[in-house]
Structure 1
Amino acid sequence: MRSTNIFAFTLVVPFVAATSYDIVKAYAGTTFFDDWTFYNHYDNLTNGDTIFVSAADAAADQLAYVDSTTNHAIIKVDNTSTVPYNQKRNTVRIFSNDRYGVGSVWVADMYHLPYGCSVWPACEIDTLEGVNLQTINQMGLHTLPGCTIVGANDLSTSTQTSTDCSYLANDNQGCLVMDNNPASYGAGFAAAGGGVWVTEFASTGISIWFFPRANVPSSISSNSSSIDTSTLGTPSGNWPSTNCSMSQYFDAQNLILDITLCGGKSPSPSYFAGNAAIFNETCTGVCYTDYVMGNGSNYATAYFEIASIRVYSSDGTNNIIPGSSSNGTATSSGGGAASTGKSAAETINGSIAALVASVVVGGVALLLA
């Protein structure tokens, strides 16, 4: 977990709810992986000790597949191969072919998140992020300089720990909110039967709601054709557009799911999961040599189990920017960065030709980019 100073807000403004959103896309069941691109490159985005494999290799090695019993999508780290010293372990990073603009909502229904020592999953805008054996989820934004958060309206159980979203501030920590619900990440999330995240990308700002399985509203659990965020209550995390214009700092978003190991966010390569001080908060030993290397038995819990990801829009399909319809692969000139700031990916990592905005989940990432 990142060490941060808690910021006490004195300005509070009412949360502005959007209108109803109608479904425009569903990633679910046997066709879950049909409209995604596999990164197919070593991790040059967060400097992890991983290789993000192609669609063909992910299918052949059962690193990305739909379970025939549950009909749930599984995305995992290779936990059967023996990795020698100075080699990387195979895993998966995918991003949606289509991008979704302001006026969109993503509903991610998951039963398991990747966790374990050295594991760093994410679901970008940082809807979900954590590392190692961290027990609570952290949510946040990473942008170009100038985006700051004032007047946030979060649950009383959430903690706003930083308000400057710039990737240049605080080692690219971003503007973070910690969800102190122990069912929001890791082993606690799995024990509770998982849960659902709702991420709203609106002109008034970005909001994220988390519901453990036992508390998922019927309007979401029924996979209805529309969703009204005004019925969801106070969000777990809220980033108003007051000092962070959505049109200025955010492009249309790809959805991104990834799992990396060790690593750290550029431009501070040693900052996050692999940083010794952070790693030793919940784990012992050395991130790479004691976990990534070897027979892979450490990664039995390093997987996503996803029932569905559904995308809703307040403007029909007009805010969808279509991508390739084929399930291809990308090289280092494509794909996305673990960042939601407009063009921040290009600034942070020169090898990324185009920004892909993201929503990130934990040490494993679910990125909406």
Structure 2
Amino acid sequence: MLCPQVTLLLAVCLTATIPPVAATGYTMVKTFAGSTFFNDWQFYNNYDNLTNGDAIFVSSSVAASSHLAYIDPSTNHAIIKVDNTSTVPYNQKRNTVRISTNDNFSVGSVWTVDMLHVPYGCSVWPAWWSQAPAWPTGGEIDTFEGVNMVTNNQMGLHTLAGCKQVSQVQSSTLINSTDCSYLTNSNEGCITTNPSTASYGAGFAQAGGGMFVKEFAETGISIWFFSRANIPSVLSSNSSTIDTSTLGTPVGNWPAAGCNIDTFFAPQNLILDITLCGDFAGPANIFAETCPGTCYNDYVVGNGSNYATAYFEIASVNVFSETGTNTIVAGNSASALGFSLSTLASWLGVIGCIWLFLA
């Protein structure tokens, strides 16, 4: 029979090694809104060498001076837009914006965005998404994306080979593809389309916008979309806590059964960008589905009047962590290699127990 001291010591050690029970409760740990919205973002400050877009992602100073990224004084909302006032000559690119958060956010996070307008128009390719710094290692999660004059938002994952969408629990039946590997079908990803025409473009604006919610959990990745009239009170009230189990069935779901989250995903930067043409919006076969003419020649070149609707209007972006944790990871720290604060705390507890036992 063990003495009481040893029994107590073993109990403490076992408690330290048992992972916390998965939770659906989350507490807000960071917000981007109002006059400080653009704090803690990096502006890409380079031409689009990522997706071959006919765009230049400007610096923060150029974005401010050109009125491409600013706070609307009448609403206190953030505006991110394509330059629609300059005349772009042939063989030149048009100015626009790509920003990503300085911090990364690890598994156990929920990210919400409240938008009143999203970019749309021929040649326009906007996205609200997240990506690990070493992509494709660490994966990518697309919450909002579309091109040209499509009417429905698409969502999806892009990962290393081996991740698939299986046995999903979601409201959308529009599943474009289930293989998430960036090596499959020219990096199509495992894509689900939102059946609501209020989720993108003119329909989104006419409905007064809405909110996207993304849960990045050990059990899988889920995305909800709520048009303005249907936003739950817990979200519209900007509550400091949310319980995702009260949000109903997500519109898109990628369970861990087909794609182990710890294997394929690392802490993510949040990204907002608008590019033009490029690998997705520009190919002739895709462009012709919703737009006449030629992507670059007929839209990017010229006086920019085509881009009057090519802007985000954002009330807020909020980051939540599983209650009792903090999933904010600064830069490429140890957490970017897959360690969460709770995991580190557990290991420190184990080491402490071993040291105490040996002593």
TM-score range for the pair, normalised by the shorter chain length: 0.7 to 0.9
| Higher Rg | 2
Does the CA-based 8 Å contact 2:83-2:304 persist in structure 1? yes
User: Partners in 1 of 2:297 and 2:181 — Cα distance?
Assistant: 32
Q: 1:247 to 1:315 in 2, by over 3 A?
A: farther
Does the CA-based 8 Å contact 1:103-1:315 persist in structure 2? no
Q: Which position in structure 1 is the counterpart of 2:203?
A: 188
Which one of 263, 281, 292 corresponds to residue 284 of structure 1?
A: 292
How far did 1:314 drift? 0.4
Please tell me the residue identity of whatever aligns with 1:235: P
Does the CA-based 8 Å contact 2:25-2:323 persist in structure 1? no
- Secondary structure at the aligned position of 1:306 is classed as strand
Write out aligned runs for 1:9-24 (5 A). Answer: 18-24=23-29
How far did 1:315 drift? 5.0
User: Partners in 2 of 1:301 and 1:313 — Cα distance?
Assistant: 34
Does the CA-based 8 Å contact 1:136-1:180 persist in structure 2? yes
- Secondary structure at the aligned position of 1:170 is classed as coil
User: Partners in 1 of 2:63 and 2:252 — Cα distance?
Assistant: 33
Does the CA-based 8 Å contact 1:158-1:237 persist in structure 2? no
Q: Which position in structure 2 is the counterpart of 1:132?
A: 148
User: Partners in 2 of 1:91 and 1:105 — Cα distance?
Assistant: 28
Q: Which position in structure 2 is the counterpart of 1:143?
A: 159
Q: Which position in structure 1 is the counterpart of 2:223?
A: 208
How far did 1:319 drift? 1.9
User: Partners in 2 of 1:79 and 1:253 — Cα distance?
Assistant: 31
Q: Which position in structure 2 is the counterpart of 1:318?
A: 326
User: Partners in 2 of 1:112 and 1:235 — Cα distance?
Assistant: 22
Does the CA-based 8 Å contact 2:34-2:78 persist in structure 1? yes
User: Partners in 1 of 2:88 and 2:173 — Cα distance?
Assistant: 39
Instruction: Name the count of aligned residue pairs.
Output: 303
Q: TM-score, structure 2 length as denominator?
A: 0.82
User: Partners in 2 of 1:115 and 1:298 — Cα distance?
Assistant: 10
Write out aligned runs for 1:257-296 (5 A). Answer: 257-264=272-279, 272-296=280-304
User: Partners in 2 of 1:27 and 1:245 — Cα distance?
Assistant: 30
User: Partners in 1 of 2:204 and 2:44 — Cα distance?
Assistant: 27
Please tell me the residue identity of whatever aligns with 2:165: I
Q: Which position in structure 2 is the counterpart of 1:120?
A: 125
User: Partners in 1 of 2:22 and 2:252 — Cα distance?
Assistant: 14
How far did 1:162 drift? 0.8
* CA offsets 1:185-243 (integer angstroms, 9 cap, x no match): 00000000000000000000100000000000000000001010000000000000112
Does the CA-based 8 Å contact 1:18-1:230 persist in structure 2? no
* CA offsets 1:323-353 (integer angstroms, 9 cap, x no match): 49xxxxxxxxxxxxxxxxx99xxxxxxxxxx
* CA offsets 1:290-331 (integer angstroms, 9 cap, x no match): 00000000000000000000000005553211249xxxxxxx
User: Partners in 2 of 1:162 and 1:316 — Cα distance?
Assistant: 36
User: Partners in 2 of 1:113 and 1:318 — Cα distance?
Assistant: 30
Which one of 143, 151, 170 corresponds to residue 154 of structure 1?
A: 170
Which structure carries more helix by proportion?
A: 2
Q: 1:27 to 1:317 in 2, by over 3 A?
A: farther
How far did 1:18 drift? 3.9
Please tell me the residue identity of whatever aligns with 1:211: F
Which one of 258, 271, 274 corresponds to residue 256 of structure 1?
A: 271
Which one of 222, 228, 232 corresponds to residue 217 of structure 1?
A: 232
- Secondary structure at the aligned position of 1:172 is classed as coil
User: Partners in 1 of 2:173 and 2:196 — Cα distance?
Assistant: 8
Q: Which position in structure 2 is the counterpart of 1:74?
A: 79
- Secondary structure at the aligned position of 1:321 is classed as strand
Q: Identity across aligned pairs (percent)?
A: 68
User: Partners in 2 of 1:17 and 1:279 — Cα distance?
Assistant: 44
Q: TM-score, structure 1 length as denominator?
A: 0.80
* Further displaced range: 17-26 or 105-114: 17-26
